[in-house]
Amino acid sequence: MKMNSDLTFITNEENKQLKQRIAELIKSSKELRFLVGFFYFSGIDELYEALKSNPSFQMDVLVGLNTDKTIHGLIEYPDPNTNITDRERVEKFFDSIAKSINSDEFDTREFYERVKFYLELIKSGKLRIRKTLKPHHDKLYIFNTWFQTFNATSRLITSSGF
């Protein structure tokens, strides 16, 4: 596989979008490590085709904030209670994911098929999603590629989500 040596800035304009660059890197990576502020199914779903095209990857996602639904839509927020158990932290995180996908937008056949794909990744251990102990809104994407070159790891540090 040919390595993409595109070193242009990602401006999220036309052909310089973060999700396109990440999708390119996923296709040639054996290990993906993401630190993100919040976790939306619609965000990871943007990577569906790239993930399906690479049968040999390990993906770790570390999430820094929870989400909640209000009358104004979804909001991201840090959990102010740092004195909770790991089990309570996990339950709150899963509750926040459930709230973020509980809408008519996701009530489609395609959505259910894709959820099945991601659940299989989780069950097989290829996708691991964890929650940070303290709130974080940082975004860091690390790709360990299959290329046998000097710099076989790509890193993207950004304030942009995809």
Query: pLDDT tens-digit profile of 77-109?
Result: 556 666 778 788 777 777 776 666 666 666 678
* 78 in any annotated domain: yes
* 55 in any annotated domain: yes
Q: Which residues contact 89 (CB under 8 A, 6 or more apart)?
A: 79, 131, 133
DSSP strand pairing (58-63 vs 29-36)? parallel
Low-confidence ranges of the chain (pLDDT < 50): 1-4, 68-75, 150
Q: What domain range is 115 assigned to?
A: 18-157
* 129 in any annotated domain: yes
Tally of domains within the chain? 1
Nearest to 43 by CA among 125, 132, 126, 106: 106
* 8 in any annotated domain: no
Letter for the amino acid at 85? T
* 70 in any annotated domain: yes
